[in-house]
Structure 1
Amino acid sequence: MRAKDVMSRPVHTVEPGAPVEDAAAAMAARAVTALPVVDGAGSLVGIVSEGDLLWQRVPVDPTAQLNRSPAAPAIRPGRVADVMSRSPVTTRPDVDLAEVAETMLMYDVRSMPVLDGDTLVGIVSRRDILRAMVRTDETLVREVQHRLDEYAPGRWTASVHKGVATVVGAFADSTEREIAAVLARTVPGVADVRIEPPR
């Protein structure tokens, strides 16, 4: 399974000059934890997360003022550009989902913009990955079988056990075996694929 199989699209974005209140409202309205920041040309220049906004916007307890860090700013930033992360961790559409998850954990990020070249084509969140992982075998086998039947009606039969898909049938050559494997693997939630001859 690849990033493109679970990523959210179209991507909700925000511009660097937008007020932070607008970014917060957009996140709340769309139930997302981060927004890619794009410039006027549509190029990715950063990402702003809930954490970035909360860091500067939550009212300070007056009784804690004496203990406030000297590095903490006295004036709250007003624009997205003031709080966004300028070097977002990104991925590509064809990257394996396990690698995406590993990168998220390594860099402690909850969302990763997906770039095709320089073009922003989606965003993957931890929630997207978890949603793909918890799909039932019954749901997976229906989707795998549907994709197989669209390509070769009635020739191959799918089964799924604990996220592992098995495709059984007659294959003309190694190319057909690879096609069947790819079709099954692109179903979100399929962890692995096995190709077997007729039983």
Structure 2
Amino acid sequence: MQTQRNPVYGIVARQRLNALLKELFRKSIHICSSFVPFFLGLAYWPVIGLLVAAVIFYSVSEILRSKGINIPLISKVTEIAARKRDENHFVLGPVTLVCGILIAALLLPLDCARVGIFALAFGDGLASLIGKLVGKITIPGAHGKTAAGSLTCFFAVFVSTYCCCHNCLVSLLIGLCAMFIEILPLSDFDNLIIPPVIGYIFSVLV
């Protein structure tokens, strides 16, 4: 005898899968930002110019989208990646992501900016994804952040920093700093803070 499937459970499962796919898509953009230091090393000012142009173009497309005017591809990508809290609002994440990278690149030496950008790309990028996949224990006062996500951030930043400087102590301290910032309830503004702050701390430590 077959048991009837609970339709409510099916709806919840689909919603969870949809949220996970959105997170995977969104964080893949974070991880792809790890290529920026490489391109900065090849052509610094042209890449800076392209990043500024990307922020302006995206901001204009978001303003138009809020008025019901969709820009082909850009508006669709934004719609796919938007969190539930971002629905019918200006999606700020891509702006803070690029601005955080720009601040680090403009204010810090490239080797220090690279560490900060990698912390954002791998640490923050993987923390949210792993937290949603396997995170069970939430951190009090961290607005739903999980222990699994924060530990993932630490290890990802530790490894990426070590690949840059080959210094275990420095990499350990940078990983801990990045994990602390990631835990803070900063919403999308962690994108803005992590690259310059982590890059600056690295510059002090080395």
TM norm structure 1 = 0.22
Larger Rg: 1
Higher strand share: 1
TM norm structure 2 = 0.22
Higher helix share: 2
